Structure 1
Amino acid sequence: VILETRDALDGQLTPDSRSADAGSVNLNVVHPLTGPVYVNGAEPGDLLEVKILEVEPASWGFTCQIPGFGFLRDVFSEPFLVRWRIADGFADSPDLPRVRIKGAPFPGTIGLAPSRGLMETIGKREKELLDRGGFVLPPEPADAIPGGAIGGEALRTVPPRETAGNVDIKQLCAGTTMLIPVYAQGALFSVGDAHFAQGDGEICGTAIEMQSVFHAQFFVRKGEASRRGQNDVAYYRDTYVQAPEIAVPRRFYATTGTSIEKGGLNQSENATLAARNAMLNMIDHLTERGYSRQQAYAICSVAVDLKISELVDVPNFVVSAVLPLDIFV
């Protein structure tokens, strides 16, 4: 199959947009997806094998910081926009001087539809989480496609779930094969939200967002999800995601974070706090290289990889933030 995809914000930002425009985007349109594609022979209990053949990038992309959204949304409350030129396998931007990002395009959102029963189960558990004070986006019919009664009960595309969805896994580029459990007749495959490049974590909430042309092959593994008891997506590949010196940078600078608040309070086994501290330390480092804090936040989102370094040395977990130095020119 070959599918054209729109960017995550459905064209609200253009090469002529400015940072202020990122503060007025309509998040109800996230994410416009191409699909659903009915896969003949796919039934609940099967695995859909999705072999990603190619993700053709557009000629431009963007990274934006939207107030109230992103991993460090309490720290970064102002809108910010980076407009990228994409050509010859790299992205650069006048908004981030001296930075050149090697691309490995992939779909940020890719997956299948849930069954009616699974949709109701997900809706119930997310409503319970919302009632407990969790950050959940409930169903919203405004700007939904389709809208009306369906939009009023349908699931939002922001969180990934059992059928994949907005997983934002940068290794899902050309050459990777996904194994997704089928819950609905025909699988009902959809894709969109393409990224030219992304750091593991996508911490500001966006990567290098773009339109794309997505190429894939589908194969149905009959009964395999039921036989394996597989309820979540898996993926594999037999070659490097990128050249080894890019996938595992030969030159890097890394910061770390632990489960200790800046004020000194020790949390117990808190990986989120450790990741937050690692990224705040990386942002401090990037400001020493001459970037503003918002520029640094954007660099972290598109190029810095968060890695769990240890989860056993209680009470403190360690997360590392790894910055490849070859992005600087």
Structure 2
Amino acid sequence: MGENGRCRLWRSAFLQGGTQVREHVIEIDPSRPLAEEPGRGHNRWHEAIEPVLEVEPGDLVVYETRDAFDGQLGPGSTDRDVGGLDLGPVHPLTGPVYVRGAEPGDLLEVELVGIEADPWEGWGYTVEVPGFGFLRDHFPEPYIVHWRLHEGYAESEQLPGVRIRYNPHPGVFGVAPSAELRRRAAEREAEAAEAGGFALPPEPAGAVPSGEPVASEGLRTVPPRENAGNIDIKQFSPGTTMLIPVHAEGALVSTGDVHFAQGDCEACGTAIEMRSRVRVRFGLRKGEAERRGIRDLQFFRDTYFTAPELAVPRRFYATTGICVEGEGANHSEDLTLAARNALLNMIGHLETRGFDRRQAYALCSVAVDLRISQTVDVPNLLVSALLPLDIFV
């Protein structure tokens, strides 16, 4: 921990509230996969993972991050490469960081100060991975969209006439679980899989750290849980503050899977994925999680999370979906089915604009917002899919 060669630390030259603020930087080599730099990160959640550094509440921390697939893809990657991806190394996280004074029952306050997009290469990607994504049964073939990341927007030759505005946010941001929470999560997710659901159990193949017990016991990073984790919340952009219940001493905070932009759904399973530098400031609310019974992530801000015309699209086209299987069965109060129908209807609309189905699915993932329009008019709940029209240039 501390200044041990795995991170860089310096004191800033400015005062904040009369106190000198320290900034710590966790540097990585983006040309190397996480397994070659195991002292700087991890891709499983486990309370026994050693922290990279210790900080005081109020300190600034800069995390340099890898992309979600840990460097398996590059600007020359093809659809075939997507079909051969190894999901074991997903997601490579930078950290954890030990916050002094943080104890179970506290609320960790995380102010997202800033995100620098892909400072190494200016490239990002969106992929459709077989067997993954909200509409995986409709899109079984691998597909990749390459993005050129400019200052303020992204463009792709594969989606001509589309310009996606910059709205960066960490896809994964979380704290370590307690041993009890880790065991409970593994058990309940196994039960969900046995009941016919889709869940990823602990898997040592590709795990970092690769030693035991972390490799065999560590939770996969794919779902969000009480420790936050893979939240994919585009409103967690610079200027937003998160409140996360602390489960382990020091909180043990990590991040990765940073997005250049994303729709409120990340439908195909990826956004505009990129490497980045994430700057945060930590604070503590002692005992507040236990005192208020807070079990899950909360977040807030006092300004627009992005440009107002993007936060509330000035011009849009929307489709809707209800809980009916085509012309078939009517399911009662099934938001998943309603959301799928809204999204499939949007893909159909995008086809009328000249996109093929795979292009449309990717575009939905990075730009379309799924909104729960109503949950009371039984049996048919209603979901809307909003396409902001200002993305077309």
Q: Normalising to structure 1: TM-score of the pair? A: 0.99
Alignment check: 8 A CA contact 2:237 2:306 kept: no
Alignment check: 8 A CA contact 2:316 2:389 kept: yes
Q: Which residue is 1:159 aligned to?
A: 223
Q: Which residue is 1:133 aligned to?
A: 196
Q: Which residue is 1:8 aligned to?
A: 68
Q: Does 1:252 align with 2:312?
A: no
Alignment check: 8 A CA contact 2:263 2:367 kept: yes
Q: Which residue is 1:122 aligned to?
A: 185
Q: Does 1:264 align with 2:328?
A: yes
- Cα distance in 2, alignment partners of residues 73 and 220 from structure 1: 40
- Cα distance in 2, alignment partners of residues 309 and 251 from structure 1: 18
The partner residue of 2:353 within 279, 289, 305 is 289
The partner residue of 2:206 within 136, 143, 156 is 143
- Cα distance in 2, alignment partners of residues 322 and 61 from structure 1: 24
State which structure, 1 or 2, has the greater radius of gyration over its C-alpha atoms.
2
The partner residue of 1:29 within 89, 101, 108 is 89
- Greater relative contact order structure (CA < 8 Å, 6+ sep): 1
The partner residue of 2:256 within 175, 180, 192 is 192
Q: Kindly provide the amino acid, as one letter, of the partner of residue 126 in structure 1.
A: E
Q: Which residue is 2:37 aligned to?
A: none
Structure 2 gaps of 5+ residues are 1-60
Q: Which residue is 1:109 aligned to?
A: 172
Alignment check: 8 A CA contact 2:124 2:274 kept: yes
1:95-133 CA-to-partner distances (Å, cap 9, x unmatched) read 111100001101000010001111111111112112212
- Cα distance in 2, alignment partners of residues 49 and 148 from structure 1: 31
Q: Normalising to structure 2: TM-score of the pair? A: 0.83
* Deviation (angstroms), 1:268: 0.3
- Cα distance in 2, alignment partners of residues 209 and 286 from structure 1: 22
Deviates more, 1:31-40 or 1:130-139: 130-139
The partner residue of 2:107 within 19, 41, 47 is 47
Q: Does 1:63 align with 2:126?
A: yes
* Deviation (angstroms), 1:263: 3.2
Alignment check: 8 A CA contact 2:347 2:357 kept: yes
Deviates more, 1:130-139 or 1:173-182: 130-139
* Deviation (angstroms), 1:135: 0.5
1:193-237 CA-to-partner distances (Å, cap 9, x unmatched) read 000000001000000000000000000110010111000000000
* Deviation (angstroms), 1:148: 4.0
The partner residue of 1:172 within 236, 241, 252 is 236
1:158-182 CA-to-partner distances (Å, cap 9, x unmatched) read 0000010001000011000000000
- Cα distance in 2, alignment partners of residues 184 and 263 from structure 1: 50
Figure out how many residues of one structure are paired with residues of the other and give that number: 329
Cα RMSD, aligned residues only: 0.7
